[in-house]
Each structure stands twice: as structure tokens, then as C-alpha cells.
Amino acid sequence: MFERYSSTLNVIAATTLFLGVNILSNQLLVDLKIDMTSDKLYTLSSGTKAIIKSIEDPIDLKFYFSAKQFSGIPELKTHGQLTKDMLEEYVASSKGKLNLLIIDPEPFSEAEDEARHDGIRRIPLSPGRSGYLGLVATDSTTGKITIPFLKPDDEIDLEYDLSKLILDLSKPERKKVGLISSLPVLGSASIKRQNERAERPWAIYQLLDENYEIVRINYDSRDIPDNIDVLLVLHPKNLPESTEGAIENYTLKGGKLIVFVDPFAEADPTAPDPSTPGVIPDLSSNPKKLLAKWGVEMASRKVIVDPSLAVNVNFGTPEGPRKIPYLPWLQLRPPHISMDSLFTRGLSVLNVGSAGSLQVLTGTTTFKHHILLSVTENSGLIESQDIIKTGNPSNLFNKYEKDKKDHAIAIHVSGGSSNIRQVTSNNNSEHRTKVRMGNDNLDVLIIADTDILSDRFWIDGRRFASSGEIQPISSNANFLLNAIELYGGGGELINLRNRGKFSRPFKLVEELRRKAESEHREQEKELRAKLEETEKRLEKIEQSSEGMVLLTEDQKNEINQFRSEQKKTRKELRSVQHKLIREIEQLGNVLKIINIGLIPFIILSLGLAVGIRKAYR
């Protein structure tokens, strides 16, 4: 008998211990987590940890999350909860350098006023209902950065956005962009008077100058300054060997390079030589040796044409002006813009003009080559001279022939590299020293088109010419800004990976939610119509009684009746809205209980049953 009671007590003690350990672990082991997701969705990347570690002064984060208002909208509530979890992970890893305040702005509250004051965007949800989902970061001085709305569609880049915000606030100094260019990006002052084409700097240069510190580097430079965050090379036409060597050394030291080459730069101001009439000037830039070091080559003086992507242009014909596809001008959209890279995040359409074809050299295994911009299988190549000589765009179809090659317009080159260079001593020409230079983080972005940056391919030219206002018509500038932003942020931002999808909604739950929402929305609609009709009738009575010193007893009763009905309808309307939110919350709670509590309960019940059975044996 005593053994039977002893066994029962053991079961009770084990159950109590089990529950006690769970309660204590939930309170004391909050920071101890194991990420079992396939994409490690809840584990901070090494780049983020490096950014958090580099914080010197404390940063305060205010996260506005209307959790209650989002109860009936799973995509917003899930994304808000995900952001909250990730911010808490940031704070846990910061050792007190990050402070998080979570605010749920109730309608017509001081918190809502504070959200609007901080620049958080109001999200309309339904008539009379709205919410907020944004983030504000402030430092100990006057620094402040706001993300007005954390879009659920951008969930894959959430870690990047949060880490960049912290990096920009902790290191607010402007990044230095080195510029080597043979194009007149600085306007008329940078080129000879007889070749003058531009009256003002290119719009892209103005945009860069507003956001970064531009450091101009001589075209024949033998060295690239070490304090340059990003090196931008535009149209390296007939680039001196000394400059090629300087650029190569810069990349081998870990410098970040963006280079725009071109088989036919339409913005190149080089004029024909009067001493050699009939000879077409060279408008190409193709540093073959430099590209080969990165495992890439560009077809010499050949332009990609693609009828599937060609832009229609106006051309005068004997029958009048008409639209004709101009084969060298292409308009790229996804999937020809790779969407799995941070370089191309947010890009919707790119306009390119007379772009070159980049190919990865066979046998190149040292580097990783990621194609960012590509064309369709209907593409081919034509000689750049044929484009210049052909007056009628329609005649270019006679030169076009589809090939079986995969043509790339932009390639991101990364990975390990090594190079052995022969350095000759000035004192003894026979004495040579082998110097091995290596870097495991080579990072070069190659774009085979310079016209992608010229004004007519990405802004409203008339507005820019008249007022200087930059009105984009494509994502061309964003492509370059994305690259500089990534490279300027250092290896931490570059190494941030795109995450997998966090939200995995239950289809059955979604269906039930929509059905419940539909029923309540119909009831809400009827009540709103009734309320509107009541208010109109009440307003009509009040207007008809204006100027009367005394109201009749019937008028007073009618006004009171309508006001009472108005109050009752408003109360019913609030009740319907609250009921909808409550039902959806209850549905969510039931699912949580089933998913989180049911399996442990079943296991615990089986354990108790086995224990009691053994005890009574």
C-alpha cells in the first residue's frame, strides 16, 4: 500500500517538477534559443552581430505596433510580431547598447499622436479603423532615423533594413566614393568647349554628390586612396596600365569596385577626327586584361539586341511618324532583373542603351559569378558600327540574328582571389621579386553599359532641363545607389543574406477568417447605412428648426428619439467591430493551444496513465 502511494507521489512530484522547470525556463532562459527553422530565420547573421558589436553610444528604438488593431489582418500582425521578435534578438545581443520600447497606439490616444509626430505612417484598415507599424531610432545626440512603414512584402529584407538603420545611426559620417570617369558626368566644365554637350552635371552625379563625398581620381592615377569606401569607374576607355594596376591592387586589398564598361557609349563626347574623314570614332571601353583577372570578358564592340525587350521609338517615315522597336535600347524587368540579390532589391524597370555582352570565362573556379541583369533567348549581337551607320531603326532587323548564347549585362564577382605580380626594382632591371597578394573577399560589380546612367534613360529630361528637378522614370539610379549603399556599409551589410519567408499561413484559418469578416462586414455596412440615415434626418430636423425660439414638444421628442437611435447604432457598430476582433483572437488562441499545448498534454497524459497503472500494479 505504501509503495502504491509512493509511486503516486513520484508521479505528482515529476509533474510538478516538469511544470516548474518550464515556468522557470520561460522566465530565466529567455535569451537561450535554438533555431530549428530550415533557413535559420530567427538567427542573426554574422554581419548583423558585427554591426551591433561596433555600436559605441546607446541607441533607443521605438517600435510602433498596433497589435490589437491588426488582429483581423494576419499579414500585418505576423510581420509586426516577427519584427518585434527580431528587435528583441538585437537588444539581447547588444549588451545594453540597444534599448527597445514597444508602443501599441490606441485610436485617439497620446501614443497615436506621438506616432504621427515621429513620422510613422497611418495604415487605413477599414472605415474608422487604422493602425501603425513603423520604427524610430534615436541616438544620444540629435540623430534620428525613421522607417515609416515596415512592409510585409519586404519581410525577406527585414534584417538588412534593421541592420542598416543601426549602422547609419551609429556611423553617420558620409561615405567616400572615388570616381574615375572619361564621361562628362560633371557637365560642360569637365570637357573641351568644342565638344560641349551638357550644360549641367548629370543627374546621377548630383544625386551621388547629395548623398556621398565624391573624391575625383585622376585618369592616369598610380594609386587609389586607402580611405575610399567605394571606387566607381565609368567608361574606362583606353585606361592607362598604371591606373589598371592601381584598380587591381585596390580590389586585392579588399576595396569595393563598381565598374561600368561599354561597347558603344552613346554619351561619349568624342567627335570624329577631321583629319580622317569617314572614320567612326571609338566610343567603346573594354579593359580586357582587368576583366579577365575577375574571370569575365566582354564581346568587343558588339551590342546586345533583343526584339522581346526592345523599346519603341518614334521615327519619321514617308507615311508619317510611327512607333518602331529600336533593338539596341532594352527595357528590363523581372525575371531579367535578378530578384535574389540585395543589389537589385526594389528595382522594377531598367532602361539600358547599346549594352555589351558579359561572359564568364571557362575554367574560372576561383570566383563566384552572379548574373544580375540578363536578356531573353531571342537575343543576339550586332556590330556597334552598324548601329551608327544605319539611319532607319527598322533596318537593324536585317543585321540581327538570334544566337544560342546567354548574354549578361551585369555580373557580381565575389570570392577568393590570388595574384602573383612581378615587381621590378628601379636600381636593377634584372632583379625581380614575386609578390603574392590575396584576398578572400574580392567584390566587384561589372555593368556592361554606361548609358544606363545618362539622363535620358532614367529621368524626365524636360523637367530636369527647366527646373533641375529629378523625376525618375526608371530604377536605373536605384541600381547604382543600392550597390554603393551595400559596399559603403562594409562587409557587414554585404554579407547579410536574404532570409526565407517567415509567414506560412493556414489556408483553413484564412478561409474561416474571411468568412467571419464577410459576415461582420455586412452587418457593419447595414449599421453604418442606418447611422448615416439617422444623422441625415437629425440634421434635417435641426436645420428646419433654426431660428425658432421654442421647439414644439413633437420636435423635441423626435430629436431625442433620433439622438437615442444614433447613440444605440454607434454602440452596436463598436460591438460588431470588437466582436470581429475577439472572434479572430479566439480562433488564434485555439490554434495556439492546439499547436503548443495539445502535444505536450497528450505526452503528459500518457506519462501519467503509465505511471498510475504501474503504481496500482
Higher confidence at residue 591 or residue 606? 606
Q: Quick check: 102 pLDDT over 60?
A: yes
- For the ranges 34-48, 189-203, 440-454, 590-604, the lowest mean pLDDT is seen at 189-203
Neighbours of 62 (CB within 10 A): 19
Higher confidence at residue 136 or residue 15? 136
Residue 311 cell numbers, joined? 523599346
Higher confidence at residue 14 or residue 577? 14
| % of the chain residues with pLDDT over 90 | 35
Cis amide prior to 335 (ω within 30 degrees): yes
Residues 6+ apart with CB under 8 A from 282: 237, 270
Q: Quick check: 456 pLDDT over 80?
A: yes
pLDDT computed for residue 615 by the predictor: 73
Classify domain 46-170 at the CATH superfamily level.
Answer: Glutaredoxin (3.40.30.10)
What does pTM read for this prediction?
Answer: 0.64
Mean local confidence (pLDDT), 569-596: 66
pLDDT computed for residue 11 by the predictor: 67
- Nearest 5°: phi and psi at 279? -90, 125
pLDDT computed for residue 218 by the predictor: 93
Higher confidence at residue 598 or residue 88? 88
Maximal C-alpha separation, the chain = 119
pLDDT computed for residue 578 by the predictor: 65
- Nearest 5°: phi and psi at 484? -65, -40
Buried b (16+ CB within 10 A) or exposed e, 266-301: bbbbeeeeeeeeeeeeebbbbbeebbebbbbebbeb
* Chain Cα centroid distance, residue 392: 40
User: Which strand ranges, in their side-by-side order, compose the sheet holding 320-332?
Assistant: 310-317, 320-332, 350-353
Per DSSP (E only), the strands in 281-360 are: 296-298, 302-305, 310-317, 320-332, 350-353, 358-360
Q: Quick check: 368 pLDDT over 60?
A: yes
Residues 496-531: tens digit of each pLDDT: 644 544 445 555 555 555 555 555 556 666 666 766
Mean local confidence (pLDDT), 295-324: 85
d(CA 507, CA 510): 5
Mean model confidence pLDDT for the chain = 79
Residues 6+ apart with CB under 8 A from 341: 370, 372, 412, 498
Residues 179-197: tens digit of each pLDDT: 999 999 987 544 444 444 4
Question: Domain map of the chain by residue range?
Answer: 1-32, 46-170, 176-271+281-488, 510-546+556-616
Are 448 and 358 in contact by the 8 Å Cβ rule? The answer is yes
pLDDT computed for residue 34 by the predictor: 62
Higher confidence at residue 614 or residue 268? 268
Higher confidence at residue 119 or residue 425? 119
Q: Quick check: 421 pLDDT over 50?
A: no
Residue 565 cell numbers, joined? 437611435
DSSP per-residue string spanning 197-221: --SS--HHHHHHHHHSEEEE--TT-
Q: Quick check: 394 pLDDT over 70?
A: yes
Residues 6+ apart with CB under 8 A from 312: 323, 324, 325, 326
Higher confidence at residue 191 or residue 584? 584
Q: Quick check: 434 pLDDT over 50?
A: no
If phi > 0 it is left, if psi is from -120 to 50 it is alpha, else beta; for residue 359 that is beta
Q: Quick check: 375 pLDDT over 80?
A: yes
pLDDT confidence of 465, banded at 50, 70, 90? Answer: confident
Which run of H or E residues covers position 16? Answer: helix 2-28
Residues 29-71: tens digit of each pLDDT: 555 566 655 555 567 877 788 889 888 889 999 999 999 888 8
Higher confidence at residue 588 or residue 483? 483
CATH topology of domain 176-271+281-488: Rossmann fold (3.40.50)
With CA atoms as reference, report the closest residue to 499 among 130, 162, 110, 62. Answer: 162
pLDDT confidence of 555, banded at 50, 70, 90? Answer: low
d(CA 77, CA 544): 48
* Chain Cα centroid distance, residue 134: 16
